[in-house]
Amino acid sequence: MSSPLLEYEVTGDDRRLGLLLLPPLGADLRYWDACIAQWRGKISCLAPNLRHRVDGQRPRPVTLEEQASDLETLRAALGFERVVPVGSAISTMAAACYAARHPERTAALVLANATARSLPQAASMLAERAEAVRAGGMAAILPQAVERAFLNLPKDRRYDAYLAAFGRQSAEDYAFACLASATFDASALLPAVRCPSLVVAGEHDVLLTPALGQEAAALIPGARFEIMQGAAHFLPYQRPEAFAALVDSFLASTSR
């Protein structure tokens, strides 16, 4: 099946290398705004909205392979020679799938709050969320769905902005995203990744724990693993300055 051209934003003019920034479940490309502000003038950034459903007479959830195909279609259309996929939470599996399937176009890989697969308990929770929002709208899972992702962090303006954006999204689109994510499994793809790789976990992440991140890193040959203090489930959003600096340092080390 041919891949559509995703909604996206690009910053920077250099097409030799760019960060390919993938938002987590329940977020869109605006998730990366604070990080992109840190990278402006240093490296080009390509931030797409991921597709979570395949439309037709009977719409169905998208697969990991289809998401990777979408991303390659977008890269080629925009003329980027190579990219660094940067995934966050569930989208780390799409980032890893892209790296495994398109090694010639992948300069490095960064996974924040990573997991190798959706565990059975997570799949069950995601299915329940899909059912809940279809029955009662996004309000049916708020604020609990967001509070868990910000565990032990202040309910400041960034929390308020995330909560508001989460509640504004289409319940049906979110339901399809949940059902798609519930079936994702990148555990067989991670050993095929051959580029320099960085896996970063959040100290307070109880949804995709540091242990799951370490497990994912162990499957990638030569991957570097770190735990970021003062962050929970969405560390690029919660600690954008620190995360951007860590990515900068990692890319500088790979170029050496």
pLDDT, tens digit (0-9, with 9 covering 90-100), for 1-15? 445 689 999 999 999
Q: What percent of the chain has pLDDT over 90?
A: 96
Say which amino acid occupies 28: D
In this predicted structure, what is the pLDDT of residue 1? Answer: 40
Candidates 72, 8, 71; CA nearest to 36 is 8
Q: How many CA atoms lie within 13 A of 236 on its CB side?
A: 31
Separation of alpha carbons 107 and 126, rounded Å = 32
In this predicted structure, what is the pLDDT of residue 40? Answer: 97
Strands 109-112 and 82-88: parallel
In this predicted structure, what is the pLDDT of residue 2? Answer: 46
In this predicted structure, what is the pLDDT of residue 3? Answer: 57
pLDDT, tens digit (0-9, with 9 covering 90-100), for 67-80? 999 999 999 999 99
Say which amino acid occupies 150: F
Query: What's the CATH number of domain 8-118+185-255, 1.20.810.10, 3.40.50.1820, 2.40.30.10, 1.20.1110.10?
Result: 3.40.50.1820
Mean pLDDT of 231-246: 97
Give the H or E element holding residue 224: strand 224-228
Instruction: With a cut of 60, say whether residue 28 has pLDDT above it.
Output: yes
Strands 109-112 and 8-11: unpaired
DSSP code of residue 146: H
pLDDT, tens digit (0-9, with 9 covering 90-100), for 140-198? 999 999 999 999 999 999 999 999 999 999 999 999 999 999 999 999 999 999 999 99
Ranges of each domain in the chain? 8-118+185-255
DSSP code of residue 214: H
Q: Tell me the C-alpha to C-alpha distance, in Å, between residue 42 and each of 7, 39, 252.
A: 23, 5, 11
Angle at alpha carbon of residue 119, lines to 61 and 232, rounded to 5°? 95
Place of tokens 């029955």: 135
Instruction: With a cut of 60, say whether residue 130 has pLDDT above it.
Output: yes
Per the prediction, the chain carries an average pLDDT of: 96
Angle at alpha carbon of residue 221, lines to 20 and 149, rounded to 5°? 50
Mean pLDDT of 34-63: 95
